[in-house]
Structure 1
Amino acid sequence: MASSSSYRIAVFASGQGSNFQALVESSRAGKLGSTEIVLLVCDKPQAPVVERARQAGVDTFLFTPKGYARREDYEAEIVAELEKHQVDLIVLAGYMRLLTSVLVEPYAGKMINIHPSLLPAFPGKDAIGQAWEYGVKVTGVTVHLVDGGMDTGTVVAQEAVPLLPDDDIQTLEDRIHQAEKRLYPQVVSWFASGRVIVEGRKVTVRQ
Protein backbone atom coordinates (compact mmCIF):
# COMPACT_ATOMS: atom_id res chain seq x y z
CA MET A 1 0.00 0.00 0.00
CA ALA A 2 1.41 3.37 -1.01
CA SER A 3 2.09 5.82 1.78
CA SER A 4 0.69 9.33 1.47
CA SER A 5 4.12 10.85 2.18
CA SER A 6 5.85 9.13 -0.73
CA TYR A 7 6.71 10.84 -4.01
CA ARG A 8 4.42 8.99 -6.38
CA ILE A 9 5.51 8.03 -9.87
CA ALA A 10 3.64 6.71 -12.91
CA VAL A 11 5.68 5.04 -15.64
CA PHE A 12 4.44 4.96 -19.22
CA ALA A 13 5.89 2.16 -21.35
CA SER A 14 5.05 0.20 -24.49
CA GLY A 15 7.64 -2.56 -24.75
CA GLN A 16 10.16 -4.65 -22.87
CA GLY A 17 10.29 -2.36 -19.85
CA SER A 18 14.03 -2.39 -19.12
CA ASN A 19 13.98 1.23 -17.94
CA PHE A 20 10.84 0.48 -15.90
CA GLN A 21 12.73 -2.36 -14.22
CA ALA A 22 15.74 -0.16 -13.56
CA LEU A 23 13.50 2.38 -11.84
CA VAL A 24 11.80 -0.32 -9.76
CA GLU A 25 15.14 -1.69 -8.64
CA SER A 26 16.52 1.77 -7.85
CA SER A 27 13.42 2.56 -5.80
CA ARG A 28 13.68 -0.71 -3.87
CA ALA A 29 17.36 -0.03 -3.20
CA GLY A 30 16.51 3.35 -1.70
CA LYS A 31 18.31 5.25 -4.44
CA LEU A 32 15.23 7.33 -5.25
CA GLY A 33 14.55 8.63 -1.77
CA SER A 34 10.91 8.40 -0.72
CA THR A 35 9.67 7.59 -4.22
CA GLU A 36 7.11 4.94 -4.99
CA ILE A 37 6.16 3.63 -8.41
CA VAL A 38 2.40 3.43 -8.11
CA LEU A 39 1.19 2.97 -11.71
CA LEU A 40 2.20 1.60 -15.09
CA VAL A 41 0.36 2.99 -18.12
CA CYS A 42 0.72 0.80 -21.21
CA ASP A 43 -0.88 1.01 -24.65
CA LYS A 44 0.05 -2.60 -25.51
CA PRO A 45 -1.60 -4.97 -23.03
CA GLN A 46 0.57 -7.91 -24.16
CA ALA A 47 3.89 -6.06 -23.77
CA PRO A 48 6.50 -7.69 -21.50
CA VAL A 49 6.57 -4.58 -19.27
CA VAL A 50 3.08 -5.53 -18.03
CA GLU A 51 4.43 -8.74 -16.50
CA ARG A 52 7.30 -6.79 -14.95
CA ALA A 53 4.76 -4.50 -13.29
CA ARG A 54 2.73 -7.45 -12.06
CA GLN A 55 5.80 -9.03 -10.49
CA ALA A 56 6.71 -5.69 -8.88
CA GLY A 57 3.22 -5.27 -7.44
CA VAL A 58 2.59 -2.07 -9.43
CA ASP A 59 -0.95 -1.19 -10.52
CA THR A 60 -1.52 -1.05 -14.28
CA PHE A 61 -3.76 0.90 -16.62
CA LEU A 62 -3.84 -0.95 -19.94
CA PHE A 63 -5.60 0.23 -23.06
CA THR A 64 -5.73 -0.31 -26.82
CA PRO A 65 -5.68 3.01 -28.73
CA LYS A 66 -7.68 1.60 -31.65
CA GLY A 67 -10.60 1.23 -29.26
CA TYR A 68 -10.97 5.01 -29.05
CA ALA A 69 -12.09 7.54 -31.63
CA ARG A 70 -9.45 10.10 -30.61
CA ARG A 71 -6.22 10.25 -28.62
CA GLU A 72 -7.86 12.81 -26.35
CA ASP A 73 -10.44 10.21 -25.29
CA TYR A 74 -7.99 7.67 -23.89
CA GLU A 75 -5.80 10.42 -22.48
CA ALA A 76 -8.76 11.68 -20.46
CA GLU A 77 -9.05 8.20 -18.93
CA ILE A 78 -5.30 8.21 -18.23
CA VAL A 79 -5.57 11.56 -16.44
CA ALA A 80 -8.35 10.14 -14.26
CA GLU A 81 -6.09 7.19 -13.33
CA LEU A 82 -3.20 9.52 -12.55
CA GLU A 83 -5.41 11.62 -10.31
CA LYS A 84 -6.76 8.52 -8.56
CA HIS A 85 -3.21 7.41 -7.81
CA GLN A 86 -2.16 10.95 -6.78
CA VAL A 87 0.79 10.89 -9.16
CA ASP A 88 3.51 13.51 -8.67
CA LEU A 89 5.70 12.67 -11.69
CA ILE A 90 5.15 10.90 -15.01
CA VAL A 91 8.16 9.03 -16.36
CA LEU A 92 8.00 8.01 -20.01
CA ALA A 93 10.09 4.89 -20.58
CA GLY A 94 9.66 3.69 -24.13
CA TYR A 95 6.10 4.97 -24.53
CA MET A 96 5.85 5.36 -28.29
CA ARG A 97 3.00 7.84 -28.66
CA LEU A 98 2.82 11.60 -29.08
CA LEU A 99 0.75 13.27 -26.39
CA THR A 100 -1.99 15.87 -26.64
CA SER A 101 -2.70 18.85 -24.41
CA VAL A 102 -5.23 16.76 -22.47
CA LEU A 103 -2.33 15.01 -20.78
CA VAL A 104 0.53 17.46 -21.25
CA GLU A 105 -1.10 20.57 -19.78
CA PRO A 106 -2.12 19.23 -16.35
CA TYR A 107 1.32 17.66 -15.90
CA ALA A 108 3.49 20.41 -17.39
CA GLY A 109 6.87 20.31 -15.67
CA LYS A 110 5.92 16.98 -14.09
CA MET A 111 6.50 14.69 -17.06
CA ILE A 112 9.90 13.52 -18.32
CA ASN A 113 11.16 11.37 -21.16
CA ILE A 114 14.48 9.74 -22.00
CA HIS A 115 15.79 9.76 -25.56
CA PRO A 116 18.82 7.86 -26.91
CA SER A 117 20.70 10.81 -28.41
CA LEU A 118 22.12 14.16 -27.37
CA LEU A 119 19.13 16.30 -28.28
CA PRO A 120 18.46 18.34 -30.31
CA ALA A 121 20.44 15.95 -32.53
CA PHE A 122 18.56 12.94 -33.90
CA PRO A 123 15.03 13.31 -32.51
CA GLY A 124 12.30 10.81 -33.29
CA LYS A 125 12.53 7.12 -34.10
CA ASP A 126 15.74 5.10 -34.38
CA ALA A 127 17.95 7.80 -32.91
CA ILE A 128 20.82 5.35 -32.43
CA GLY A 129 20.61 4.28 -36.06
CA GLN A 130 20.44 7.91 -37.16
CA ALA A 131 23.62 8.74 -35.21
CA TRP A 132 25.39 5.65 -36.52
CA GLU A 133 24.55 6.42 -40.14
CA TYR A 134 25.60 10.05 -39.72
CA GLY A 135 29.00 8.97 -38.47
CA VAL A 136 29.13 11.01 -35.27
CA LYS A 137 32.00 10.53 -32.84
CA VAL A 138 29.87 11.15 -29.74
CA THR A 139 26.21 10.47 -29.07
CA GLY A 140 24.44 9.77 -25.77
CA VAL A 141 21.17 10.08 -23.89
CA THR A 142 18.95 13.00 -22.90
CA VAL A 143 16.31 13.35 -20.22
CA HIS A 144 13.89 16.14 -21.08
CA LEU A 145 10.58 17.59 -20.04
CA VAL A 146 7.65 16.63 -22.25
CA ASP A 147 5.89 19.42 -24.12
CA GLY A 148 3.86 17.49 -26.68
CA GLY A 149 6.36 17.87 -29.52
CA MET A 150 8.71 15.24 -30.92
CA ASP A 151 11.54 15.30 -28.37
CA THR A 152 11.40 19.11 -28.18
CA GLY A 153 11.03 19.65 -24.43
CA THR A 154 13.50 21.40 -22.15
CA VAL A 155 16.65 19.36 -21.48
CA VAL A 156 17.07 18.29 -17.85
CA ALA A 157 20.21 16.14 -18.11
CA GLN A 158 22.46 14.49 -20.68
CA GLU A 159 25.18 11.84 -20.67
CA ALA A 160 27.61 11.50 -23.56
CA VAL A 161 28.45 8.11 -25.05
CA PRO A 162 31.47 8.10 -27.40
CA LEU A 163 31.71 5.80 -30.38
CA LEU A 164 34.67 3.49 -29.93
CA PRO A 165 36.89 2.33 -32.80
CA ASP A 166 35.69 -1.28 -32.55
CA ASP A 167 31.99 -0.45 -32.06
CA ASP A 168 29.25 -1.91 -34.15
CA ILE A 169 25.71 -0.61 -33.83
CA GLN A 170 24.81 -3.32 -31.29
CA THR A 171 27.67 -2.53 -28.90
CA LEU A 172 26.86 1.18 -29.22
CA GLU A 173 23.21 0.49 -28.47
CA ASP A 174 24.15 -1.61 -25.43
CA ARG A 175 26.26 1.22 -23.97
CA ILE A 176 23.55 3.78 -24.63
CA HIS A 177 21.05 1.60 -22.78
CA GLN A 178 23.51 1.29 -19.89
CA ALA A 179 23.74 5.08 -19.78
CA GLU A 180 19.93 5.34 -19.74
CA LYS A 181 19.74 3.05 -16.73
CA ARG A 182 22.28 5.21 -14.89
CA LEU A 183 20.89 8.61 -15.79
CA TYR A 184 17.13 8.12 -15.55
CA PRO A 185 16.97 7.00 -11.90
CA GLN A 186 19.33 9.83 -10.98
CA VAL A 187 17.08 12.43 -12.60
CA VAL A 188 13.98 10.93 -10.96
CA SER A 189 15.72 11.25 -7.59
CA TRP A 190 16.37 14.93 -8.33
CA PHE A 191 12.68 15.54 -8.94
CA ALA A 192 11.69 13.57 -5.85
CA SER A 193 13.97 15.67 -3.66
CA GLY A 194 12.71 18.95 -5.14
CA ARG A 195 16.09 19.87 -6.60
CA VAL A 196 15.02 20.61 -10.18
CA ILE A 197 14.44 24.29 -10.98
CA VAL A 198 13.05 25.11 -14.44
CA GLU A 199 13.29 28.66 -15.81
CA GLY A 200 12.24 28.72 -19.45
CA ARG A 201 14.60 26.38 -21.26
CA LYS A 202 17.19 26.49 -18.49
CA VAL A 203 17.20 23.74 -15.85
CA THR A 204 19.22 24.01 -12.64
CA VAL A 205 19.71 21.13 -10.23
CA ARG A 206 20.24 22.38 -6.70
CA GLN A 207 22.99 20.70 -4.69
Structure 2
Amino acid sequence: MLRLVVLISGGGSNLRALLQASEDAEFPARVVAVGADRQADGLAHAEEFGIPSFVVPFTSYPSREAWGDALLAQLREWEPDVVVLSGLMKLLPAQVVEAYAPAIINTHPAYLPEFPGAHGVRDALAAGVAETGASVIIVDNGVDSGPILHQRRVPIEPGDTEATLHERIKLLERELLIQTVLDLANNDIDLKDFA
Protein backbone atom coordinates (compact mmCIF):
# COMPACT_ATOMS: atom_id res chain seq x y z
CA MET A 1 0.00 0.00 0.00
CA LEU A 2 1.50 3.31 -1.13
CA ARG A 3 1.62 5.87 1.70
CA LEU A 4 0.88 9.44 0.58
CA VAL A 5 1.25 12.76 2.35
CA VAL A 6 -0.56 15.51 0.46
CA LEU A 7 0.50 19.17 0.81
CA ILE A 8 -1.99 21.93 0.01
CA SER A 9 -2.44 25.70 0.22
CA GLY A 10 -6.05 26.13 -0.85
CA GLY A 11 -9.35 24.35 -1.34
CA GLY A 12 -7.91 20.90 -1.94
CA SER A 13 -10.13 19.68 -4.80
CA ASN A 14 -7.40 17.29 -6.01
CA LEU A 15 -6.91 16.11 -2.43
CA ARG A 16 -10.63 15.37 -2.15
CA ALA A 17 -10.52 13.31 -5.36
CA LEU A 18 -7.61 11.27 -3.96
CA LEU A 19 -9.42 10.75 -0.66
CA GLN A 20 -12.53 9.57 -2.49
CA ALA A 21 -10.50 7.21 -4.68
CA SER A 22 -8.75 5.73 -1.66
CA GLU A 23 -12.05 4.86 -0.01
CA ASP A 24 -12.18 1.96 -2.46
CA ALA A 25 -10.55 -1.00 -0.74
CA GLU A 26 -8.97 -1.97 -4.09
CA PHE A 27 -7.20 1.40 -4.50
CA PRO A 28 -3.51 0.65 -3.80
CA ALA A 29 -2.67 3.91 -1.99
CA ARG A 30 -3.76 5.74 1.15
CA VAL A 31 -3.41 9.35 2.23
CA VAL A 32 -1.82 9.06 5.69
CA ALA A 33 -1.67 12.81 6.41
CA VAL A 34 -2.47 16.18 4.89
CA GLY A 35 -0.23 19.19 5.43
CA ALA A 36 -0.61 22.86 4.60
CA ASP A 37 1.49 26.01 4.65
CA ARG A 38 -1.46 28.01 6.05
CA GLN A 39 -4.94 27.42 7.49
CA ALA A 40 -6.22 26.13 4.14
CA ASP A 41 -9.88 25.41 3.40
CA GLY A 42 -8.87 21.99 2.05
CA LEU A 43 -7.94 20.80 5.54
CA ALA A 44 -11.69 20.28 6.02
CA HIS A 45 -11.47 17.36 3.55
CA ALA A 46 -8.89 15.66 5.75
CA GLU A 47 -11.13 16.13 8.77
CA GLU A 48 -14.18 14.80 6.90
CA PHE A 49 -12.29 11.65 5.86
CA GLY A 50 -10.66 11.15 9.28
CA ILE A 51 -7.13 11.84 8.01
CA PRO A 52 -4.63 13.52 10.36
CA SER A 53 -3.47 16.96 9.28
CA PHE A 54 -0.77 19.46 10.17
CA VAL A 55 -0.03 23.08 9.39
CA VAL A 56 3.48 24.50 9.06
CA PRO A 57 2.75 28.21 8.48
CA PHE A 58 5.32 29.73 6.13
CA THR A 59 4.93 33.10 7.86
CA SER A 60 5.93 31.65 11.25
CA TYR A 61 9.55 31.09 10.20
CA PRO A 62 12.38 33.58 9.62
CA SER A 63 13.45 32.02 6.30
CA ARG A 64 12.41 29.57 3.62
CA GLU A 65 15.10 27.20 4.89
CA ALA A 66 13.77 27.31 8.47
CA TRP A 67 10.27 26.63 7.15
CA GLY A 68 11.69 23.76 5.11
CA ASP A 69 13.31 22.22 8.18
CA ALA A 70 9.99 22.34 10.07
CA LEU A 71 8.10 20.89 7.08
CA LEU A 72 10.67 18.13 6.69
CA ALA A 73 10.31 17.20 10.37
CA GLN A 74 6.53 16.88 9.92
CA LEU A 75 6.87 14.81 6.74
CA ARG A 76 9.32 12.41 8.37
CA GLU A 77 6.80 11.68 11.14
CA TRP A 78 4.41 10.18 8.53
CA GLU A 79 6.99 8.16 6.55
CA PRO A 80 5.41 8.76 3.14
CA ASP A 81 6.34 6.72 0.10
CA VAL A 82 5.31 9.69 -2.05
CA VAL A 83 4.71 13.35 -1.23
CA VAL A 84 1.95 14.85 -3.37
CA LEU A 85 1.85 18.62 -3.92
CA SER A 86 -1.75 19.47 -4.62
CA GLY A 87 -2.04 23.20 -4.99
CA LEU A 88 0.84 23.98 -2.61
CA MET A 89 1.68 27.54 -3.60
CA LYS A 90 5.21 27.59 -2.21
CA LEU A 91 8.35 26.21 -3.81
CA LEU A 92 9.76 23.45 -1.65
CA PRO A 93 13.14 24.32 -0.12
CA ALA A 94 16.08 22.31 -1.43
CA GLN A 95 16.45 20.21 1.70
CA VAL A 96 12.88 18.88 1.34
CA VAL A 97 13.39 18.06 -2.34
CA GLU A 98 16.70 16.35 -1.59
CA ALA A 99 15.14 14.27 1.20
CA TYR A 100 12.30 12.86 -0.92
CA ALA A 101 13.13 13.28 -4.61
CA PRO A 102 12.15 11.75 -6.91
CA ALA A 103 9.17 10.69 -4.75
CA ILE A 104 7.55 14.15 -4.84
CA ILE A 105 4.89 14.74 -7.48
CA ASN A 106 2.97 17.87 -8.37
CA THR A 107 -0.05 18.73 -10.48
CA HIS A 108 0.16 21.78 -12.72
CA PRO A 109 -2.63 23.49 -14.71
CA ALA A 110 -0.78 23.68 -18.04
CA TYR A 111 0.78 21.41 -20.63
CA LEU A 112 4.36 21.72 -19.42
CA PRO A 113 6.87 22.98 -20.34
CA GLU A 114 4.33 25.56 -21.54
CA PHE A 115 3.25 28.11 -18.91
CA PRO A 116 5.16 27.11 -15.78
CA GLY A 117 4.76 29.04 -12.54
CA ALA A 118 1.90 30.20 -10.35
CA HIS A 119 -0.31 31.62 -13.13
CA GLY A 120 -0.38 28.89 -15.77
CA VAL A 121 -4.07 29.33 -16.60
CA ARG A 122 -3.91 33.12 -16.79
CA ASP A 123 -0.72 32.95 -18.86
CA ALA A 124 -2.29 30.55 -21.37
CA LEU A 125 -5.27 32.88 -21.85
CA ALA A 126 -3.01 35.92 -22.19
CA ALA A 127 -0.94 34.12 -24.83
CA GLY A 128 -4.04 33.53 -26.95
CA VAL A 129 -3.25 29.85 -27.56
CA ALA A 130 -5.94 27.43 -28.75
CA GLU A 131 -5.23 24.84 -26.06
CA THR A 132 -3.46 24.36 -22.77
CA GLY A 133 -3.57 21.31 -20.52
CA ALA A 134 -2.74 19.64 -17.25
CA SER A 135 0.42 17.87 -16.15
CA VAL A 136 1.70 15.70 -13.32
CA ILE A 137 5.43 16.02 -12.80
CA ILE A 138 8.22 14.96 -10.48
CA VAL A 139 9.32 17.92 -8.39
CA ASP A 140 12.90 19.09 -8.71
CA ASN A 141 14.55 22.32 -7.54
CA GLY A 142 13.27 24.31 -10.51
CA VAL A 143 9.87 25.86 -11.18
CA ASP A 144 7.66 23.17 -12.77
CA SER A 145 10.74 21.82 -14.53
CA GLY A 146 10.85 18.18 -13.37
CA PRO A 147 10.20 15.08 -15.47
CA ILE A 148 6.62 14.81 -16.80
CA LEU A 149 4.74 11.67 -15.74
CA HIS A 150 1.34 12.34 -17.33
CA GLN A 151 -0.23 15.19 -19.24
CA ARG A 152 -3.18 15.90 -21.47
CA ARG A 153 -4.43 18.80 -23.57
CA VAL A 154 -7.46 20.97 -22.79
CA PRO A 155 -8.97 23.17 -25.53
CA ILE A 156 -9.55 26.82 -24.74
CA GLU A 157 -13.12 27.69 -25.65
CA PRO A 158 -14.44 31.04 -26.89
CA GLY A 159 -15.43 33.17 -23.91
CA ASP A 160 -13.33 31.20 -21.44
CA THR A 161 -12.33 33.12 -18.35
CA GLU A 162 -9.53 32.14 -16.02
CA ALA A 163 -12.15 30.63 -13.68
CA THR A 164 -14.03 28.58 -16.32
CA LEU A 165 -10.85 27.29 -17.92
CA HIS A 166 -9.31 26.42 -14.56
CA GLU A 167 -12.39 24.41 -13.56
CA ARG A 168 -12.09 22.27 -16.71
CA ILE A 169 -8.37 21.82 -16.13
CA LYS A 170 -8.96 20.79 -12.49
CA LEU A 171 -11.20 17.92 -13.66
CA LEU A 172 -8.36 16.65 -15.81
CA GLU A 173 -5.75 17.24 -13.08
CA ARG A 174 -7.75 14.98 -10.75
CA GLU A 175 -7.89 12.18 -13.33
CA LEU A 176 -4.18 12.47 -14.09
CA LEU A 177 -3.23 12.57 -10.40
CA ILE A 178 -5.22 9.43 -9.59
CA GLN A 179 -3.78 7.67 -12.64
CA THR A 180 -0.26 8.66 -11.61
CA VAL A 181 -0.77 7.35 -8.07
CA LEU A 182 -2.14 4.08 -9.50
CA ASP A 183 0.84 3.80 -11.84
CA LEU A 184 3.27 4.40 -8.97
CA ALA A 185 1.52 1.90 -6.69
CA ASN A 186 1.40 -0.74 -9.45
CA ASN A 187 5.03 -0.08 -10.50
CA ASP A 188 3.95 1.02 -13.98
CA ILE A 189 6.01 4.10 -13.17
CA ASP A 190 9.22 3.31 -11.29
CA LEU A 191 10.60 6.35 -9.50
CA LYS A 192 14.03 4.73 -9.45
CA ASP A 193 14.17 5.52 -13.17
CA PHE A 194 14.23 9.21 -12.20
CA ALA A 195 16.72 9.04 -9.34
| TM-score, normalization by structure 2 | 0.92
| Residue 69 of structure 1 pairs with residue 54 of structure 2 | no
| Residue 170 of structure 1 pairs with residue 163 of structure 2 | yes
Q: Which has the higher helix share?
A: 2
Counterparts of 2:63 and 2:117 in 1: how far apart (Å)?
Answer: 22
Matching residue within 30, 33, 38 for 1:36: 30
Which residue of structure 2 aligns with residue 196 of structure 1? 189
Which residue of structure 2 aligns with residue 158 of structure 1? 151
User: Which blocks of at least 5 consecutive residues in structure 2 are unaligned?
Assistant: none
- C-alpha distance 15-169 of structure 1, shift in aligned 2 (>3 A): closer
**Deviation, structure 1 residue 166:** 5.4
Counterparts of 1:10 and 1:168 in 2: how far apart (Å)?
Answer: 32
Counterparts of 1:13 and 1:26 in 2: how far apart (Å)?
Answer: 18
| Worse-matched range after superposition: 135-144 or 62-71 | 62-71
Counterparts of 2:29 and 2:190 in 1: how far apart (Å)?
Answer: 19
Structure 1: 4+ residue segments shifted above 4 A: 198-201
**Deviation, structure 1 residue 200:** 5.5
**Deviation, structure 1 residue 30:** 4.4
Which residue of structure 2 aligns with residue 22 of structure 1? 17
The percentage of aligned residue pairs carrying the same residue is 34
Residue type matched to 2:31 in 1? I
SS of 1:120's equivalent? coil
Q: How does 1:43-192 map to 2 (within 5 A)?
A: 43-45=37-39, 47-165=40-158, 167-192=160-185
RMSD: 1.8
Residue type matched to 1:100 in 2? P
| TM-score, normalization by structure 1 | 0.87
| Residue 11 of structure 1 pairs with residue 6 of structure 2 | yes
Counterparts of 1:166 and 1:44 in 2: how far apart (Å)?
Answer: 33
What do the CA deviations read for 1:102-154 (whole angstroms, capped 9, x no partner)?
10001111000011001111111221111111111111001000002111111
User: Which blocks of at least 5 consecutive residues in structure 1 are unaligned?
Assistant: 1-5, 202-207
